[in-house]
Amino acid sequence: MSRYLLGSLLTLTPTLTLSAADWPQFLGPTRDGVSPEAVAPWKGELKPLWKQPVGEAHSSPVVAGGVVYAFYEPAGRNADALAAFDARTGERRWEKSYDREEFKPLFGNGPRSTPVVSGDSVYTLGGTGVLACWGAKTGDIAWKVDTLKEYGAKNLFFGVSTSPVVLGGDKVVVMVGGKGAGLVAVDAKTGKTAWMATDEPASYSSPVIAGNQIVTLTGANLLGLSPAGEKLWAVPLEGKVGPKQLIESSATPLVVGDLVVGSTVTGGAVGLRVTEKDGKYEAKQEWFEKALTCYFSTPVVVGDHLYMINGTLGLKPTITLRCVGLKTGKVAWERKNVGKYHAAIVRCGPAGKETLLMLDDAGSLTLFEPNPKEYVELARAKVCGETWAHPAVADGHVYLRDNKDLVCVPLK
């Protein structure tokens, strides 16, 4: 008997001890840009509750247990640093770091990958491939693994950017891109290899855990793996840019019911329906649209529609906000020039009462309706400087970072 593999979005496999006010990993509790917190329209400007200077990074802040964690390169050092701040006051509780090899890619030297908090630990992946486990309360480092050296992989042009994800509470999964080690799981307590899987090249995208699968966009394919690393299905989807054909796939796959949606900056977007019959898996293309090119912004879904940021590269890069049919890939409406390279969208609120919060790369925060008929803006405010980091929404506040500061902005 054939059955749909991915059932109810695939809810994230429970691996984190969370409160309703936590945003403990990249793209939030379920790694799909969704917050249960309602955000109502505001009037006038939004004033920061606090700011704290931090080092260079495109890594996003995460929030767990009343603490905000920021991952960055400390000034004047070839190092990765993790710092913990009181979510209410901004007080810096601790900052710890480790030295690493020098790496100076385009568009900034700091880490791109976002930490994940699980239990009493914080896991980070630096731009040179160092995976580390830190004590959430103290910042003490329990273990480090240089994944590029350990698994025989080369760094990407802009540096390692994939964000780690915790699997089943006892493993940390990262994309590496090594021979036989396209994806790797390590023991969460020791950092020792649990399994290695595939020869897939790495991308800048991050894996998600959905139901009984790990779904990821590699440098070559949309891919599904079992929790033990067994390859279940793969569909080609590349995003190569420029004369050197650099892999620049960065958007995280979105899993909704029995659909997997993936997109790259040059390859367009695809909707796949994944099914299983007698232990064999099939990913069938439901739609494909070349124009729906996501760079490093991941779409969010409300009802039967996706809200996504599509990019156009070149001498005058620009991005377009689009409302797209989830089941068809057809554009319902679009709003051009909402930023240059990037804007991050968060779906806020309970079902039926959602609003959409968008942080663009110029530092403006916009609230708009999830309206499939037209773009309806509800509020807008300048909240920070230029940024490529995704915001974290937690306990009535939005936490974000720009080129200089970590910023807390009340939304209530």
pLDDT digits (tens, 9 = 90+) for 70-101: 999 999 999 999 999 999 999 999 999 999 99
Percent pLDDT > 90 in the chain is: 84
- C-beta separation of 229 from 29 below 8 A: no
By the 10 Å C-beta count (0-12 exposed, 13-18 middle, 19+ buried), 154 is classed as exposed
4 — pLDDT class (breaks 50, 70, 90): very low
Residue-wise pLDDT tens digits, 181-218: 999 999 999 999 999 999 999 999 999 999 899 999 99
Question: The domain containing residue 12 runs over which residues?
Answer: 2-410
Residue 256, H or E segment: strand 254-256
- Our count of domains for the chain comes to 1
The tokens for 307 are 């809200």
pLDDT digits (tens, 9 = 90+) for 119-153: 999 999 999 999 999 999 999 999 999 999 999 99
pTM comes to 0.94
Among residues 17, 18, 63, which one has the least CA distance to residue 396?
63
CATH code assigned at 41: 2.130.10.10
Q: How far apart are CA 268 and CA 179, in angstroms?
A: 27
Listed in sequence order, the DSSP H helices in 328-408 are none
> Which residues lie closer than 8 Å to 346 by C-beta, 6 or more apart?
28, 33, 34, 35, 300, 356, 357, 358, 390, 391, 393
Average pLDDT over residues 3-29: 61
* Cβ contact 411:379 at 8 Å: no
Whether the Cβ atoms of residue 90 and residue 144 lie closer than 8 Å to each other: no
At residue 246, the pLDDT reads 64
- Of 383, 391, 337, nearest to 46 by C-alpha is 383
Cα dihedral 342, 389, 383, 349, rounded to 10, equals: 90
SS3 content of the chain, % helix, strand, coil (to 5): 0, 50, 50
Q: Is a pLDDT exceeding 70 seen at residue 8?
A: no
Region for residue 157 given its phi and psi (left: phi exceeds 0; alpha: psi -120 to 50; beta: otherwise)? alpha
With cut-offs at 50, 70 and 90, classify the pLDDT of residue 20. low
Strand partners, 401: 406
Closest CA to 202 of 113, 110, 114: 113
